[in-house]
Amino acid sequence: MNQLLRQARDGDMEAFAALFEPLRAKLFAVACRLVGPSDADDVVMEAFLKAWRALPRFGGRATLSTWLCRIVHNQAMDMLRQRQRRAGRELRGEDTEAVLTVTEDPAQPTAAAQAMRGETADIVREAVDELPDPHRSALMMRYADDLSYAEIAAASGVSIGTVMSRLFNAKRKLRQALDALTEDIGGSIKERP
């Protein structure tokens, strides 16, 4: 166990802050993917406080980073459940709107091409929003936060097999949504010069 971690476990808040600070951007990104940018800071700060209180029980079976990601994930899920109870409906749009964007392609500057990209981005956002929370969370942690399967499993409290299954199902549903788009626009893609 490194010296900073020992000091933090002995009650040194500055040592804990020194351990936590290099991970803040990663933890913020995880929280942002789950609850949106407007609430991500609150989630990270609550997770920081929970981690500080739980640090004496940190056994070191996982890395500190994975342990903190798990706490952030749990805090974010708690916030989402509270939102759902308050609103009485499922969340839509805001938690992935800022995450998923389509980059403009200068090779196709036509208004039609821009409209098609905007429509595609909307369909992808909608498809991601429609995923069950566990699938959306796994997808965002893998592709937006670039976490490994093992890190996602540890952060979510599930097996690697469950992570693989969630990612497979999430990608399948996204593929179906994009296939539907392709069918809707028919041959217009093939007809472009």
pLDDT tens digits for 153-166? 888 888 888 888 88
120 and 192, same domain (yes or no): yes
pLDDT of res. 119: 67
If you search the block for the tokens 């759902």, which residue do you land on?
84
Concatenating the DSSP letter of every residue in the chain gives: --HHHHHHHTT-HHHHHHHHGGGHHHHHHHHHHHH-HHHHHHHHHHHHHHHHHHGGG--SSS-HHHHHHHHHHHHHHHHHHHHHHHHSS---SHHHHTT------TT--SHHHHHHHHHHHHHHHHHHHHS-HHHHHHHHHHHTS---HHHHHHHHTS-HHHHHHHHHHHHHHHHHHHHHHHHHHTTHHHH--
pLDDT tens digits for 49-91? 899 889 888 887 888 888 998 899 989 888 888 877 776 544 3
Domain-located, residue 11: yes
Domain-located, residue 118: yes
CATH number at residue 84: 1.10.1740.10
Structure tokens at 22: 């290099």
pLDDT tens digits for 7-39? 888 888 888 888 888 999 999 988 888 888 888
Distance spanning both ends of the chain, measured CA to CA: 61
83 and 109, same domain (yes or no): no
Domain-located, residue 170: yes
Domain-located, residue 151: yes
**Among the listed residues 189, 126, 139, 190, the one whose alpha carbon sits nearest the alpha carbon of residue 166:** 139
> How many Å apart are CA 95 and CA 103, to the nearest integer?
19
State the total domains in the chain.
Answer: 2
pLDDT of res. 72: 92
Domain-located, residue 33: yes
Domain residues for 178? 103-193
Highest mean pLDDT pick, 44-53, 151-160, 172-181: 44-53
> How many Å apart are CA 56 and CA 106, to the nearest integer?
54
Question: Is the per-residue pLDDT at 185 higher than 70?
Answer: no
pLDDT tens digits for 92-150? 444 444 444 444 444 444 555 555 566 667 767 777 777 888 888 888 888 877 788 88
pLDDT of res. 71: 92
56 and 122, same domain (yes or no): no
pLDDT of res. 108: 47
Buried b (16+ CB within 10 A) or exposed e, 33-72: bbbbbebbeebbebbbeebeeebeebeeebebbbbbbbbb
pLDDT of res. 105: 44
pLDDT of res. 90: 41
> How many Å apart are CA 96 and CA 90, to the nearest integer?
13
CATH number at residue 150: 1.10.10.10
